[in-house]
Structure 1
Amino acid sequence: MLSYGDPLPLHNLHEREPMTVWRRSVTQEKKLGEPQVYMPKGHNPERVVWRGLSSLLAERPTASQTTEAAPELGAGVLEWIAQLATAEGYLPRGTRFRARIVGAVYGTQQSVIDEIVDDRLSMAVILLNRQDRRYAQQAVSAVADADEAVAILGDLAVDLARASGAATEGPRSRAREQGYDALDAPYRSWLQNLGGAADPEEHRTRWRTETHRIIRRIGEQLIAGAGDAAWQGRTITTGKGELWLNSAYAERSFRYRLARVLGDPEGLKADTAAPESPGDGPAGLGPETPAAEAERVTA
């Protein structure tokens, strides 16, 4: 006879299970009546592992460091590497290791497996050094750069769709997927080389430049393929007034916001300036205000 067996407790096993990232659960704390409850952090099969890098690099604070419970606890095996990297003489700062992330996404009543997550990420042990957090901070900030740039790309797709009178959710999700796909290999390569950089901030500047180049190229492709309807445009009503939205306005908004987030690596200030005449839009509306924020569209 086959049966499910007795369910295993999942909470507060972080001292005994070294291969899992843990998250604090306020809900379980209230339910179980315990002051601190940590649950295994599940994998999102729609996100590549580097987008959740902050969880991998999460530090396990000691009692002397803080009295507040950490929102996340890194895997014990990575904490062990961190101790070897922090203790002088054990692991050279440029030593690379490869983290392999394997997990299951469970389905109905946790009784079936819907998907398997299997991903790898190579990085230098300096990112786990507890006495020098500059490299880890720049690695996590570089992920935030990618997230912001992809969000702007998604807004461009929405603006172009609204300019032509089309639905918006499909274009947004496709543009975001295209953006992350294009940044995947470059980020992995950048992260591998981060440990050998003398200045992690300068290394991140190179990442911002590369991200700007990649996302702008995809944006230009979206604009070129938007069609005549988007080029002609239409009137939309935003929270700040009416605006004639066409592909030209969408492009200026896209370039302005991308430069504001990632800098202006190619000296494109002329392309990203705010409107100079009232004919470009109502007061308070400029490229810094994406039409993706529109509340309703008028034909």
Structure 2
Amino acid sequence: MKAAFAKRSAFAKRESRSGVIFTIPAALIMLGLVVYPMLYGFFISTQKSNLIDKWEFVGAKYYIQLLTDAEFYGTLKTTASFAACVVLGNLCVGLLLAVLVNQKIPLMNIFKVILMLPWLFPEVVVALIWKWLFSPLFGMFNYVLFSLNLIDKELDVLGQPRTAFAGVVFVCIWKGYPIVMLMMMAGMKNIPHERYEAAAIDGANKWQQFLNVTLPGLMPVLLVASILETAWWFKHFTIVWLMTNGGPAGSTELISVEIYLQAFTNFNFGRAAAESVIILFLLMVVSFIYSRVLRDESQ
């Protein structure tokens, strides 16, 4: 009996050591690609530096400047509005299209491929194509509006604060909805068909089935999609920078654009790193709130 117990104990110890050995490479990669850059970014935020030969410790100077800077809060407000509009748009459009393509309709597979195309285009290509389409001189958007007699002079979509913000949000939704649609489609496949049959027997129509069966079944997917989409679009840079450079009049100046300008135009790397650390903290807080709210609703 004791011999058998000793053998099991030795096997458990050997298995435990094997698990540790196998996780070491992954842990080292995580340290090198995630932990070290985060710690180094925090270190830079406490320095007045050119990242080469000038290193002056300033402590929390840049954090104090940012937390007392009205312009920084204005940029955060613009970024939050942008992220909220894009995330909400992606979730609504993605969910709606996922419900539609989940129906048994002829040639639906071809329709799915077409709907996924925006996600396959590089962001640089998307930004340049839509910038050309919105051009007041030779863009297709103005041509269509003129043809329908909706305008009598050129509309510079990206040259006016209100329309520039709306135009950038629209392009980002067009680019981002396919991945949400794909996640929702995968989530719907995991909802047992028996639930819909039981709801139909109880007299529920399609809309009631959607509210009481589909949405509760998609709550875990909605949680993941909301967190990923918020983190992605809150720090988004490429499309906004290529289409508007943060203008006009700062109407599309997101925090990512502000960080870029501070680092590579003003060469104020410490302030740029401090802004990045603050954004990381804010996204962690938002992710925690998302997880608590959606988890409570699903329960």
- Say yes or no: TM over 0.5: no
Q: Which has the larger radius of gyration?
A: 2
Higher helix share: 2
Higher relative contact order (CA 8 A, sep 6+): 2
Higher strand share: 1
What is the TM-score normalised by the length of structure 2? 0.24
